[in-house]
Amino acid sequence: MLYNLLMLLVISCFSIDAYGHDKAAFVLYDKAGREVSYHKLLKKAKKSDVVLFGELHDNPIAHWLQLELTRDLHKRKKLIMGAEMFEADNQKALDDYLSGLIDYSRLNSLVSLWSNNKTDYAPLVDFARDHRIRFIGTNIPKRFARLVHKNGGFAALEKLGDEEKKWIAPLPVHFDPELPGYRNILTMMGEHGTPELVKAQAIKDATMAHFILLNHRPGHIFLHFNGAYHSDFHEGIVFYLRRENDSLRYLTITTVEQQDIRHLEVQHRGRADFIICVDSDMTKTY
């Protein structure tokens, strides 16, 4: 009987080794395309001042790993959290929720939450609430980004009042239209791409960088969640972070999808310090 049980265990282990890898949901790579462990990512993240976690908004693996990384970093380091998904003018309502002054339904009535908030971002905010971690809404209010896109570029922001200007990066905003990521927006958008559209992207990046640096504290890790395009290839937010403070240690994570995840495709190498390569057949969150 014991022999049969041992043989069953051996066969089970062999089956997992032989077939389980072919059904892996994701593989983690470093920037050179070498497969690495989550432990290595965590070790590097612990030594960073700012970690930018770039996601594909509908990817469940990215959202799961965001929460796992948050939990693991919190065990070892002091955290500040922040996200693109909350705008700077939402901070009062967000702070009231974090302190317990309002509940989720009230937050939902005060803030324009993303459609996938309850499944993907609420767990992060609730972790911050439960552990008394500051959570910062870093993004520019959408209406101001729309002004840049539709009403003449950065000049439209000069007309804002002093109170409204507190919710954006300080003016004037430096802008480099030759950054590959910004030039690529024009290519991707075709006839719909305009310099003002690219500037709207830049003011988002600059504003998120501004609020990350404004709220970072020595001895803490600022863990920031954003769409991958905002930090891929160390551009976007990272460009503005380094322009304002190049002395901090920045770490980037991104998410990509491939049909075959056993090798990282060439176009994804160098996209971030760590690349989460997810099977493209993975179920989406919305």
Which CATH number do you get for residue 148?
A: 3.40.50.11550
Residue 186 has a pLDDT of 87
Residue 144 has a pLDDT of 98
Question: Does a structural domain hold residue 19?
Answer: no
Question: Does a structural domain hold residue 241?
Answer: yes
Dihedral sign (CA 54, 58, 60, 66)? positive
What is the rounded CA–CA span in Å between residue 16 and residue 24?
11
Residue 2 has a pLDDT of 36
What is the rounded CA–CA span in Å between residue 54 and residue 210?
17
Q: Measuring CA to CA, how many Å separate 11 from each of 1, 15, 22, 84?
A: 16, 6, 17, 47
Residue 193 has a pLDDT of 78
Pairing of strands 135-139, 274-279: unpaired
Residue 22 has a pLDDT of 65
Kindly report whether the global pTM for this prediction surpasses the value 0.85. Answer: yes
Question: Does a structural domain hold residue 253?
Answer: yes
Overall domain count for the chain: 1
Residue 214 has a pLDDT of 98
Residue 15 has a pLDDT of 39
Question: Does a structural domain hold residue 220?
Answer: yes
Under-50 pLDDT residues of the chain: 1-20
Question: Does a structural domain hold residue 11?
Answer: no
Question: Does a structural domain hold residue 114?
Answer: yes
* Phi, psi angles (nearest 5°) of residue 179: -60, 130
Question: Does a structural domain hold residue 21?
Answer: no
Q: Which domain holds residue 48?
A: 28-279
* Residue pair 153/195 in contact by the 8 Å Cβ criterion: yes
Pairing of strands 78-87, 220-227: parallel
Question: Does a structural domain hold residue 17?
Answer: no
